[in-house]
């Protein structure tokens, strides 16, 4: 457990210093992966995600347990990791505490062994009283920055607590069945045979009862299914593609929506992403699914670098955003984002939307997509765009439960926003 606590603590320290958690863990596997068992890797990932997800709560608890702020980030992170383990894992309390004491020595701070032991044992004695005391502190109770809580409360007065709670839950693992190769019914039979519990959501989506590695999924390598959130699966469906239409997928990486468009019958698809390395992941996804598209490494907002002035019949405008609707998958986001970032993203979105609108043929449809729940990036953005573009006509949305295009995070799927516009 020493190596687990140490590496999970290192990951938390890196996130609080401004690093992306997924990238931090990839670097951890690259450096230490050969020495770690699959169980150890799984535990490190679970604890790192849990500590980041609940950072607001555990930071507040730690502040109540110490006389003055801890200035050493490694020590603070180790204690928060141990607090997460004590509250949310099955590890024995004495083992968590003992290993934390050993870990503080292993990272070269043996003089703090008594301090670490005392802090954690005090928590075990006082945890009920501590949690009751902290219930009145919003950041501790909900484990979000205060500005985030206030914004959600203002924009969703009837459901703000549900949204915050959903953002702290473990996300479902949902599969998109490749209907070119199989069906939901047939794939459910494969899962049953493999002893994997799952439920059909509709004619194309399946949710697993328990998340697992794709290596364990029957037929994954053969392209029978892809992992894609249910809310994200709505994008390709809304564009009603067919083989006769020219389709543009802007900001395409990692390629889930590109592949889905092709699975639904599109044959002439151009997928653009500004990041050449991420575009390679699109190519790999398409190759696994036996699909092909025209892949372009370019800034979709700079038409002179890639567009040849031949209009598209369908445009998927999946814009960069705060990702406030997918924080249960990326909990570092809520601690790395600042409220001012919303306005910055909104400016980028407005520019990209206006530019891509130029590539859309008359009568064509553009689908504006974010994985955000903030109105500034969603309804406000589309309202401003339609006011400036008289040729933009909003179309009705055939979506599961939504509020004016906004799908809120739930047990079914992540938070996404959709607006479908036709060029008149």
Residue 254: cis peptide before it, omega within 30 degrees of 0: yes
135 contacts 141 by C-beta, under 8 angstroms: yes
- What's phi and psi for 360, nearest 5 deg? -85, 130
Structure tokens at 117: 């032991």
Q: Which of 251, 317, 371, 386 is catalytic?
A: 371
Beta bridge partners of 91: none
Going by C-alpha positions, the residue among 310, 284, 300 that lies closest to residue 223 is 284
* Secondary structure class of 375 (helix, strand, coil): helix
| HSE of 25, CA atoms in CB hemisphere, 13 A | 18
80 contacts 59 by C-beta, under 8 angstroms: yes
Buried b (16+ CB within 10 A) or exposed e, 149-187: bebbeebbeeebeebbebbbeebbbbbbbbeebbebeeb
Query: Vertex 302, ends 300 and 308: CA angle to 5°?
Result: 85
317 contacts 372 by C-beta, under 8 angstroms: no
219 contacts 225 by C-beta, under 8 angstroms: yes
User: 371 an active-site residue?
Assistant: yes
Residue 224: cis peptide before it, omega within 30 degrees of 0: no
Residues labelled as active-site residues? 371
């Amino acid at each position: 457990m020493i190596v687990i606590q140490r590496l999970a603590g290192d990951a938390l320290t890196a996130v609080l210093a401004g690093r992306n958690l997924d990238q931090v863990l990839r670097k951890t596997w690259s450096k230490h992966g050969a020495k770690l068992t699959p169980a150890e890797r799984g535990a490190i990932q679970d604890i790192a995600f849990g500590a980041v997800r609940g950072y607001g709560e555990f930071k507040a608890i730690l502040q109540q347990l110490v006389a003055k702020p801890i200035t050493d980030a490694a020590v603070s992170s180790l204690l928060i990791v141990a607090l997460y383990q004590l509250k949310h894992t099955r590890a024995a309390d004495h083992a968590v505490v003992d290993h934390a004491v050993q870990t503080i020595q292993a990272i070269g701070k043996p003089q703090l062994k008594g301090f670490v032991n005392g802090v954690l044992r005090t928590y075990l004695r006082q945890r009920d009283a501590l949690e009751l005391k902290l219930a009145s502190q919003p950041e501790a109770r909900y484990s979000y920055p205060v500005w985030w809580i206030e914004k959600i409360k203002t924009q969703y007065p009837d459901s703000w607590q549900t949204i915050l709670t959903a953002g702290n839950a473990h996300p479902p693992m949902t599969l998109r069945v490749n209907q070119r190769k199989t069906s939901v019914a047939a794939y459910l039979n494969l899962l049953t045979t493999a002893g994997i519990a799952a439920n059909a959501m509709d004619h194309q989506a399946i949710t697993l009862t328990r998340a697992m590695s794709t290596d364990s999924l029957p037929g994954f390598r053969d392209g029978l299914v892809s992992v894609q959130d249910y809310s994200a699966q709505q994008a390709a469906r809304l564009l009603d593609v067919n083989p006769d239409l020219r389709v543009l997928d802007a900001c395409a990486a990692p390629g889930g929506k590109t592949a889905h468009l092709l699975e639904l019958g599109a044959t002439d698809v151009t997928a653009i992403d500004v990041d050449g390395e991420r575009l390679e992941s699109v190519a790999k996804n398409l190759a696994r699914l036996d699909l092909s598209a025209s892949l372009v490494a370019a800034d979709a907002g700079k038409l002179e670098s890639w567009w040849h002035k031949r209009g598209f019949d369908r445009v998927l405008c999946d814009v960069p955003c705060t990702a406030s609707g997918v924080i249960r998958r990326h909990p570092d986001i809520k601690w790395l984002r600042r409220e001012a970032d919303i306005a910055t993203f909104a400016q980028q979105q407005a520019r990209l939307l206006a530019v891509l609108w130029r590539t859309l043929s008359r009568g064509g449809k553009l689908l504006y997509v974010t994985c955000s729940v903030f109105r500034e990036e969603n309804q406000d953005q589309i309202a401003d765009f339609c006011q400036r573009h008289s040729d933009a006509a909003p179309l009705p949305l055939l979506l599961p439960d939504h509020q004016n295009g906004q799908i809120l995070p739930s047990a079914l799927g992540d938070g996404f926003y959709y607006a479908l516009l036709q060029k008149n």
